[in-house]
Amino acid sequence: MSKDTLTITDNRTGKTYEVPITHGTIKALDLRQIKTDAEDFGLMSYDPAFTNTASTKSNITFIDGDKGILRYRGYPIEQLAERSNYLETAYLLLYGDLPTQEQLAAWEHEVQIHTLLHSNIEQLIHTFRYDAHPMSIFISAVASLATLYPEARQVTDLDKRHLQIVRAVAKVATIAAFTARHNQGFPFNYPDDGLSYVGNFLKMMFKMTETHYQPNPVLERALNVLFILHADHELNCGTNAMRVIGSSQADPYSALAGASAALYGPLHGNANEEVLRMLAEIGDIKNVPAFIDKVKRREALLMGFGHRVYKNYDPRARIIKKIADEVFEVTGRNRLIDIALELERIALSDDFFISRKLYPNVDFYSGIIYQAMKMPMAMFTVLFAIPRTAGWISHWLELLCDSEQKISRPRQIYLGPECRDYVPVEERQEREKVGCW
Ligand code: SDX
């Protein structure tokens, strides 16, 4: 009769151990009993970059990387993209289910009345150089919210915590728009309660001197879908950062700044900007084969391709590719899409990519749409961070309520020098450098 256990024989001692298997995992701590003698610390697991380690149980997002499945709280991403909007999806992620009409109205109202920024944040944004990267401004402004709401440090106080959730979701869009306006040297457009969350963001981004700005409904819809698709993605790099920082009970704004900083990496959320740079560098379809060869010679990455979890087509990329045509109907076709489509066509038929299961990810097509919508390229990762704020906070809340969680503190394998005595400076010899720096 099969048992949900793992039997381990330590060939160093001949001893056998039986450890339980739950949810397809064994507890790393169950390895500690495996020792060679009483002095032995016991076994640990070694998993750089957590390629095969679950660090939490979660009810938020389900991904099946082989089948290309993505669900938020059980709802398929394709249905949410088709029928929901970002603020409703944010509620779903944060509170576990789709809101009733009353709950949705109350949520929309609460977010709406918190979209304004304290003038200190506006002044902070103005202190940056005009060409400061918007992600650096965004990270700084989000962190500085903690200076205005010190009660956010009371992370176990339910009412205070709820207020920070609403403030964060509401204010990241205003911070993003004000950042873009600062970069462009334009005055800030203040939030407009008469518009939806995404419509208000578009107005704050693009209103100039027209007396009545009305967002284009096709672009508002497209941005809603893009925000839905970017809202969460289980334990990605940025969300892991959110959880690690949140585990010390730091305030949510400091944790959000850390998560945003992780997202800013070119291997993570900043890939959408790098994709545009790559497409612009390729410049023409006829240069695609040469670029593919460059990638295969390891001289460049095919930005927007590959994923730690998806070993199939990222379902988000499939949806984004479909939205592109709707946006281009309004904005005119972005010719970079032709280069992207040719890159995808060649890559998906080339064994270098097939054997490594490299497919387009969420970042491959999103930047092309943002550019067509006249979003500045440097803003693309900020456009990722706005909706991901809902996912980051959802994981932060789940962490705080999880009795199995405590402050995050991994172990290491120490390979440095053994104990050695201090050497007076006059007796020291030049030694070989350590590491790659
Ligand atoms: C996001 O985790 C998430 O969920 C993230 C995200 C989210 O919603 O939060 O989905 C958002 O970050 C999407 C990923 C955006 N990044 C990029 O598009 C940058 C380009 N992609 C790669 O850097 C890479 O694919 C990663 C970082 C996305 C994944 O890296 P892994 O899982 O560590 O894979 P790997 O580096 O071990 O690659 C396996 C092989 C290697 O070749 P070999 O050494 O085995 O011969 O594939 C190669 C890699 O060199 N490879 C690539 C490649 N990605 C992987 N080769 C060329 N171009 C690429 N893009």
- The Å distance, Cα 197 to ligand 1 centre, comes to 32
Task: Output the six-digit token pair for 285.
Answer: 């379809």
Assign 358 a pLDDT band (cuts: 50, 70, 90): very high
Burial of 404 from C-beta contacts in 10 A (0-12 / 13-18 / 19+)? exposed
Query: Are 117 and 77 part of one and the same domain?
Result: yes
Interatomic CA distance for residues 164 and 251, integer angstroms: 9
* 115 in any annotated domain: yes
Query: Are 104 and 170 part of one and the same domain?
Result: yes
Residue 400 has pLDDT above 90, yes or no: yes
* Angle in degrees, CA 179, 184, 188, rounded to 5: 55
For ligand 1, residues with CB inside 6 Å are 233, 236, 267-269, 271, 295, 301-309, 356, 358, 361-363
Burial of 223 from C-beta contacts in 10 A (0-12 / 13-18 / 19+)? buried
Query: Are 141 and 238 part of one and the same domain?
Result: yes
DSSP string, 97-130: SPPPHHHHHHHHHHHHTT----HHHHHHHHTS-T
Query: Are 88 and 230 part of one and the same domain?
Result: yes
Active-site residue 97, yes or no? no
Which residues form the domain of 222?
Answer: 67-270+377-400
Torsion of CA 134, 137, 141, 143, to 10 degrees: 110
Query: Are 110 and 158 part of one and the same domain?
Result: yes
Check residue 433 and give its pLDDT: 82
Check residue 247 and give its pLDDT: 98
Residue nearest to atom 46 of ligand 1 (CA): 356
The phi-psi region of residue 332 (left if phi > 0; otherwise alpha if psi is between -120 and 50; otherwise beta) is left
* 120 in any annotated domain: yes
- The Å distance, Cα 231 to ligand 1 centre, comes to 20
Query: Are 266 and 278 part of one and the same domain?
Result: no
* 206 in any annotated domain: yes
Interatomic CA distance for residues 61 and 219, integer angstroms: 27
* 58 in any annotated domain: no
Query: Are 320 and 186 part of one and the same domain?
Result: no
* 71 in any annotated domain: yes
- Contact between 239 and 395 (Cβ < 8 Å): yes
Query: Are 383 and 396 part of one and the same domain?
Result: yes
Query: Are 293 and 257 part of one and the same domain?
Result: no
Q: Read off the CATH number of the domain in which 169 is found.
A: 1.10.580.10
> Cβ neighbours of residue 431 under 8 Å, at least 6 residues apart?
none
Active-site residue 363, yes or no? yes
Which of 232, 251, 314, 363 is catalytic? The answer is: 363
Q: Read off the CATH number of the domain in which 289 is found.
A: 1.10.230.10
Query: Are 208 and 99 part of one and the same domain?
Result: yes
- Contact between 266 and 274 (Cβ < 8 Å): yes
Assign 113 a pLDDT band (cuts: 50, 70, 90): very high
Active-site residue 212, yes or no? no
Check residue 33 and give its pLDDT: 98
Taking only the tens place, the pLDDT of each residue in 235-288 is 999 999 999 999 999 999 999 999 999 999 999 999 999 999 999 999 999 999
Check residue 306 and give its pLDDT: 95
What average pLDDT does the structure give for the chain?
A: 96
Query: Are 147 and 253 part of one and the same domain?
Result: yes
Burial of 311 from C-beta contacts in 10 A (0-12 / 13-18 / 19+)? middle
Interatomic CA distance for residues 402 and 51, integer angstroms: 23
Residue nearest to atom 31 of ligand 1 (CA): 308
Check residue 435 and give its pLDDT: 80
* Percent of all residues in the chain with a pLDDT value above 70, rounded to a whole number: 100
Interatomic CA distance for residues 87 and 73, integer angstroms: 15
Structural domain count, the chain? 2
Taking only the tens place, the pLDDT of each residue in 20-35 is 999 999 999 999 999 9
Query: Are 89 and 227 part of one and the same domain?
Result: yes
Check residue 291 and give its pLDDT: 97
Assign 93 a pLDDT band (cuts: 50, 70, 90): very high
Q: Which helix (H) or strand (E) holds 187?
A: none
φ, ψ (nearest 5 deg) of residue 247:
-70, -15
* 172 in any annotated domain: yes
* 55 in any annotated domain: no
* Averaged pLDDT, 322-329: 94
Taking only the tens place, the pLDDT of each residue in 37-83 is 999 999 999 999 999 999 999 999 999 999 999 999 999 999 999 99
* 408 in any annotated domain: no
* Angle in degrees, CA 395, 396, 397, rounded to 5: 90
Check residue 436 and give its pLDDT: 83
